[in-house]
C-alpha cells in the first residue's frame, strides 16, 4: 500500500536528509521525513499554542492557578491525548486497509516495507522526537527516567526506517489505546473530580484497555516478534555474491542498480529495501531487550494502576475510638433499680487529608 499521507514529500527535503539516512543506514527515512518533521512541528504547536489557549478558555480558574511547572505538565498531557487518539485511529485503519501488510510472511515482517506502515512509523517518530525535545528542556521536572524513556522510544522506532520490523510498528503503537483514558484520569484529578462517576467509568476503561492492549495483545505480539527475529538471526541469504549495495535500494543504491551493478532485477514489492536480509546481533538484542523491558514495566504499571484507581473510590478511613460501656444505676419511681449502658461512640476528625496520587504516566 502506498503512503496515504495527503501532503506530498518535497524532493528538496528528501535530498537534504539523504546523507544522514545513508550514514545511519535508514533507506526509507527520505520517503517519510516530511511526516517526521510535520508530526514534530504539529505537536510542538499544540504544546505551546493550542493547549494553553484552549485550557484558559475551558478552565480559566483551574489552569490560571497552576504553577509554571504544572502548566508544562498539563500541556504535555494535552499533547499526549491528541497524539494517542490520532495514532490509534490511523494504525487501526492501516492494519485493516493495507493488504500487502496483511499477507506478509516472517521474512517480510522483518525486512518488508509498505508506504502505509512507513507513515505510521514517521508520525510516531515525530512524536517521540518532540517528547525527547520537551524532556530535555524540562529534565529537572520530568527526571532522568523519562529522558531515558524518550530516547529509547525514539531509537527503537527509528529502526523501522532500515527497514527493520516495519510490520510491527502498527502493532506495538496500539499500546497507546490506553493513553487517552490515562490522560482523562489525570485531568479528572486536577479538576477536583476525584472519585466522581465519570472518573469511575473512565478508570474501568483504563484498566480494561491497558490489560487487553498491553498485557494480552502486547505479550502475544512480543512472542511473535521474538520468533521472527530468531528466524532472521539464523537466516542465510540465498545470494551472498550479489552486489549488496545495489540491493539496498536507497537513492544512491538505486542509481547503482540502474547502471547494471545489480545481478538481479530491482524488487519493487514489499522487499525492495530488504538488502542482504541480515540482522546484526546488536540490532536484535537492542530491539528485543527494549521490548522485554517495556513489557515488564507494563505489568508493573498495571499493578500500580489498580492500586491508584482503587484509592480514588475507597471510602475515607476514619479512626474511631469507642468508650467502654459505662453502667449507670438509677432507681425508678416504682422503687425498682434500673441499670443503663452508655455506649457513646466518639469519632476523631482526620487532621491531615491524604494527598491525591497522580496517574501513572
Packing angle between helix 251-258 and helix 11-23, nearest 10 degrees? 90
CA gap 292, 124 in Å, rounded = 20
Condensed to tens digits (0 to 9), the pLDDT of residues 15-34 reads 999 999 999 999 999 999 99
pLDDT for 291:
85
Q: Are 83 and 249 in contact (CB under 8 A)?
A: no
Q: And the C-alpha cell for 80?
A: 499526549
CA gap 287, 153 in Å, rounded = 10
Condensed to tens digits (0 to 9), the pLDDT of residues 135-164 reads 999 998 888 878 887 888 898 899 999 999
Condensed to tens digits (0 to 9), the pLDDT of residues 40-52 reads 999 999 999 999 9
Higher pLDDT, 346 or 15: 15
Best CA proximity match to 89, nearest among 27, 152, 4, 30: 4
Whether the pLDDT of residue 309 is over 70: the answer is yes
Count of Cβ atoms closer than 10 Å to residue 324 Cβ? 6
Torsion of CA 283, 20, 31, 104, to 10 degrees: -10
pLDDT for 14:
95
Higher pLDDT, 103 or 331: 103
User: How far separated are the first and last CA of the chain, in Å rounded?
Assistant: 34
List b or e across 184-214, with b for residues whose CB sees 16 or more CB atoms inside 10 angstroms: bbbbbbbeebebeeebeebbeebbebbbebb
CA gap 321, 167 in Å, rounded = 63
Q: What average pLDDT score do residues 275-284 get? A: 88
Q: What are phi and psi of 27, to 5 degrees?
A: -60, -30
> What is the pTM (predicted TM-score) of this model?
0.78
All residues at 6 or more sequence positions from 8 whose CB lies less than 8 Å from its CB, including other chains: 34
pLDDT for 324:
46
Amino acid at each position: 500500500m502506498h503512503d496515504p499521507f495527503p501532503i506530498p514529500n518535497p524532493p528538496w527535503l528528501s535530498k537534504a536528509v539523504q546523507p544522514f539516512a545513508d550514514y545511519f543506514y535508514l533507506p526509507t527515512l527520505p520517503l517519510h521525513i516530511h511526516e517526521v518533521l510535520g508530526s514534530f512541528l504539529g505537536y510542538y504547536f499544540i504544546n505551546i499554542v493550542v493547549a494553553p489557549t484552549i485550557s484558559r478558555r475551558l478552565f480559566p480558574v483551574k489552569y490560571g492557578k497552576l504553577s509554571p511547572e504544572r502548566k508544562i505538565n498539563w500541556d504535555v498531557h494535552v499533547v499526549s491525548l491528541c497524539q494517542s487518539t490520532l495514532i490509534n485511529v490511523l494504525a487501526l485503519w492501516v492494519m485493516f486497509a493495507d493488504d500487502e501488510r496483511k499477507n506478509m510472511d516472517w521474512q517480510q515482517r522483518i525486512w518488508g516495507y509498505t508506504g502505509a506502515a512507513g507513515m505510521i512509523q514517521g508520525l510516531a517518530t515525530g512524536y517521540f522526537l518532540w517528547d525527547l525535545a520537551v524532556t530535555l528542556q524540562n529534565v529537572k521536572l520530568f527526571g532522568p527516567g523519562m529522558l531515558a524513556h524518550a530516547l529509547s522510544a525514539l531509537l527503537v522506532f527509528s529502526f523501522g526506517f532500515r527497514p527493520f520490523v516495519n510490520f510491527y510498528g502498527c502493532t506495538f503503537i496500539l499500546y497507546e489505546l490506553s493513553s487517552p483514558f490515562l490522560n482523562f484520569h489525570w485531568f479528572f484529578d486536577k479538576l477536583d473530580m476525584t472519585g466522581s462517576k465519570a472518573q469511575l467509568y473512565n478508570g474501568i476503561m483504563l484498566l480494561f484497555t491497558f490489560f487487553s492492549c498491553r498485557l494480552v495483545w502486547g505479550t502475544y505480539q512480543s512472542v511473535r516478534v521474538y520468533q521472527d527475529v530468531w528466524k532472521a538471526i539464523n537466516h542465510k541469504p540465498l545470494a551472498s555474491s550479489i552486489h549488496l549495495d545495489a540491493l539496498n535500494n536507497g537513492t544512491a543504491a538505486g542509481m547503482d542498480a540502474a547502471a547494471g551493478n545489480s545481478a538481479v532485477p530491482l524488487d519493487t514489492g514489499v522487499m525492495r529495501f530488504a538488502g542482504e536480509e541480515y540482522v546484526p546481533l546488536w540490532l536484535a538484542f537492542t530491539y528485543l531487550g527494549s521490548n522485554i523491558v517495556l513489557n515488564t514495566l507494563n505489568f508493573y504499571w498495571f499493578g500500580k494502576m489498580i492500586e491508584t484507581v482503587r484509592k480514588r473510590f475507597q471510602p475515607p478511613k476514619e479512626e474511631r475510638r469507642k468508650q467502654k460501656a459505662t453502667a449507670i444505676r438509677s432507681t425508678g419511681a416504682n422503687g425498682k433499680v434500673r441499670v443503663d449502658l452508655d455506649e457513646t461512640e466518639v469519632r476523631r476528625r482526620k487532621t491531615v487529608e491524604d494527598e491525591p496520587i497522580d496517574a501513572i504516566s
